Chains A and B, each alone.
Chain A
Amino acid sequence: MNLLDDLEARSIAILREAYFRVSPLCMLWSMGKDSTALLWLARKAFFGAVPFPVVLLDTEMELPEVYEFRDMLQREWNLDYHNAMCPPESSVDQTLPPATRAAARKTAGLRELINREKYRGIIVGIRRDEQATRAKERVFSPRMPDGAWDVKHQPPELWDVYHTDVPDGHHLRIHPLLDWTEVDIWRYTQRENIPIVPLYLARDGMRYRSLGEKNITVPIASNASTIDEIILELETTRQPERAGRTMDNETEDAFERLRTGGYM
């Protein structure tokens, strides 16, 4: 069993635990490489038919290629797809730096979705290597009724004996990809032949390494026009993955504030 086999088997086991123990349940899908790989893992876990709704927290600010990709996969993979519209920017905390307001809109959109659908579990494709506060996450991570993450009082999580009971009104964030790295996702995408948004591949010396809203995500200089070249690039770069995400870089603790408030 190699690295990717091991990661795949762990993630599938987590998805199955979530499905058999937490209800109602949905998965967030942003059409990025991570949540698309996660969707593929869910298809593998349940033999082709994803048994829970797949939800986009829609700010209407994704790049057009991203929406095209969504329409294609929704059709081809026969997904139970739901669009959750996020509240407008004018409704969020105006003391937040401008680049973090999209994230605040998504946080509010998710809160509304949970209140509306009474979800007890939200499957999210975050990884521990992306960002320092995500590195502290549990696989089954409880959230308060308002979506807040009590990072200082996280319950223990021992081996793979997961704890899935939360008080009424609380919910769980379920994180099947925590152990994966960015390059693992690419190697897996390549091995399994998982479709990707073409913006990840370089055109005219530029490519998107991480896809966010169009007004707050910038491409990086790169000549990696195939997945092989992306893998090679990642094995040698010392630039962090989210360097192109301006929201992470505005103040030292911007991301931590977002996450403890309920962001993914």
Chain B
Amino acid sequence: MAVSAGMQPQLRVVAVGHVDHGKSTLIGRLLHDTGNLPEGKVAELMAVSERRGAIFEWSFVLDALQSERDQAVTIDTTRIWMRTPEREVVLIDAPGHKEFLRNMVTGASDADAAMLLVDAHDGVGEQTRRHALLLELIGVPRVVVAINKMDRVGYRQARYDEIRAELEILLYRMGVVPSAFVPMCARDGENVVASAPNMPWYDGKTVLDAILALPPAHRAEGGALRIAVQGIVRQDLRRIVVGRVESGTIRAGDELIIAPSRRSAQVASIATFPPSDKTSASAGESVGFVLDGPIFLDRGDVIADAAHPPPLAKRFRARLLWLGHGPLSVGDSFRMRFGTRVAQVTVAAFERVIEMDSLDRSGDSQAHTNDVAEVILASAETLPLDSVADHPGLARFILLDGVDIVAGGTILMALESDAAAKHVVPVAHQVGEATRARLSGHLGAVLWLTGLPASGKSTIAMELERRLVIAGAHAYVLDGDNVRAGLSRDLGFSAEDRRENIRRVGAVAALFADAGTIAIAAFISPYRAGRDDARAAAGDAFHEIYVKADQSSREQRDPKGHYKQARAGKIEDFSGITGDYEEPELPELVLDTTVQSLEECVDALMQYVEKNIAFGLAATV
């Protein structure tokens, strides 16, 4: 067995696809060809097959249960470890049969990535479609498509191209962007671990290489803080709040907001065993912490940082997989578990039932077993309702009927936010942030460059835009020139007009971000209040970049001659000399053009973008 790299987090990969398209066979073969089977395992299974008068199949390695061997079908999900020199991979086998769909979903819900198997001869089957759709519902972000049994089609490239084209369209419509397509034959190990000489027309990765090339699962350590409270542990005189950090970081001293009560609290300390001097905990950690003063919270509450409270509402749009025996109808009522909370919810309306063959919406107001449906769910109480695009860990739910699980699903968006005006009902987009991001490789964002005149904002903005676009990102610069020519042509330069101009730019930039674009706004924007408004408009997507330079370098540059004119008294209230400029208090990034070159500034910005906004740009230029 290869020595594992050891300490990298596991990569969990689920194999899905139509029944008999070869999932278990591929896993058995991967294990064998990477030297991960116990000594004698294949010999043992061959002997068992012979005793039973059956032909040996690689899938026997996994289908270890007695009943499964008898029926030659995988009933339940199982998993097995594959150690490679690069990383530890956990392969999750999931049943393809329709009647075992609940087990497929169970396997997939724990995966970071998927291998989607398609039989080259039979082509895309009903379960191929269903499983691809479920990957999107469950939130498995990365997919390697393995086109199996190429031997059955004479290793012909034309057939591979045909299936690949069909799948690309199908997956695109579901919002799934495959990481790779691999023509292969699992039984004979062709393009599984070793390249296949009989498909010389293919020069891409083998299945193993495609898996190992998948980037690690994304953890939002820099995002808004979220913790679902598991409970309170009483110890001596301390009351320790415990939960797992879903995103962001919690620090001693932080101001928190508790949802849905909207009470505030302050973190006194982080608790650990054995005791330590730890003062913070980040996404993924199971944390315990003590609050200052009395505690007004309980299991089920959601903790957020004071600046980013979760939406509160009584109704929400949800997408779910219906697993109940009878149909799901308007008026049906269930207990819902999400985060650490339980709520009673009722189906208020059907938006659509997704039909498997066409993937089109249908006007049904009922869902049948194994259907995927989009519905409006309503609760009598106000709930913290983060959307799956923002905080997947808190937006995944199960519905319970008595002691039975009858559905699994995700919160798409809260409706009728309590805080917002009752008359404004936002119209939901059919395409979510996650889908856009998957297609472009980055999130929508506002990079707000603020700083005094001639500090270098526009020059940096234009160079950043050029490099982002070459790298395959959607990026666009908003600056004084292109904004004042249209959007703000009715405005002058009075203090009030300048504030209004910044307000408009902030709102437009937020729309750009919502559309999935990286908006680069380069404005002096001297007042904190104005920048705070822009931050409020774009929420988590807002990134404040402070571009600073000392006075002499600014006056030396002075590309538009403003300093000269201001010195001569021709411009009043010029921020660089006479007007006020309020420095950002907590900018996400500071660039100092007195000491950093243009290239260094843009490099720093590109690194910031790669860390916080982009995860799959085509190339870094």
Contacts and interface: CB of A to CB of B under 8 A. Distances in A.
Interface of A: 1-6, 8-10, 12-13, 16-17, 19-20, 43-49, 51, 128-129, 132-133, 135-136, 138, 151-152, 154-161, 163, 165-167, 179, 181, 183, 187, 235-240, 252-253, 256
A156 B286 contact: no
A255 B325 CA distance: 33
B244 interface: yes
Contacts of A51: 233
Residue from the set A161, A238, A253 with the largest chain B CB neighbour count within 10 Å: A161
Contacts of A16: 230-231, 242-243, 286
A103 to B, nearest CB: 17
Nearest to A256: B66
Contact of A135 (B80, B102, B110, B288): B80
A263 B6 CA distance: 32
B594 interface: no
Contacts of A252: 48, 66
B285 A240 contact: no
7 contacts: A3-B9, A13-B244, A17-B230, A47-B288, A159-B109, A163-B400, A238-B38
B615 interface: no
Given A3-B88, A236-B1, A156 B405 contact: yes
B103 A156 contact: yes
A179 B465 CA distance: 44
Contact of B337 (A46, A151, A161, A179): A161
Nearest to A253: B66
Interface of B: 1, 3-4, 6-10, 35, 37-39, 48, 62, 64-67, 75-81, 83, 88, 90, 102-103, 105-106, 109-110, 138, 219, 230-231, 233, 235, 240, 242-244, 271-274, 282-286, 288, 299, 323, 337-338, 340, 393, 396-398, 400, 403-405, 408
Contacts of B90: 179
A45 B242 CA distance: 9
A207 B77 CA distance: 34
Contact of A1 (B242, B284, B403, B404): B284
A163 B405 contact: yes
Given A154-B76, A167-B403, A3 B398 contact: no
Given A12-B286, A16-B243, A136-B65, 12 more contacts: A46-B273, A47-B235, A49-B235, A133-B65, A135-B80, A152-B76, A165-B403, A167-B403, A235-B3, A236-B1, A238-B1, A238-B35
Nearest to B230: A16
A43 B235 CA distance: 12
A156 B105 contact: yes
Contacts of A4: 7
- Closest 6 pairs between A and B when the two form their complex, measured CB to CB: A132-B64, A12-B286, A20-B231, A156-B102, A238-B39, A158-B408
A20 B299 contact: yes
Contacts of B299: 20
A166 B402 CA distance: 9
A2 B9 contact: yes
A129 B81 contact: yes
B76 A159 contact: no
A156 to B, nearest CB: 4
Contacts of A166: 403
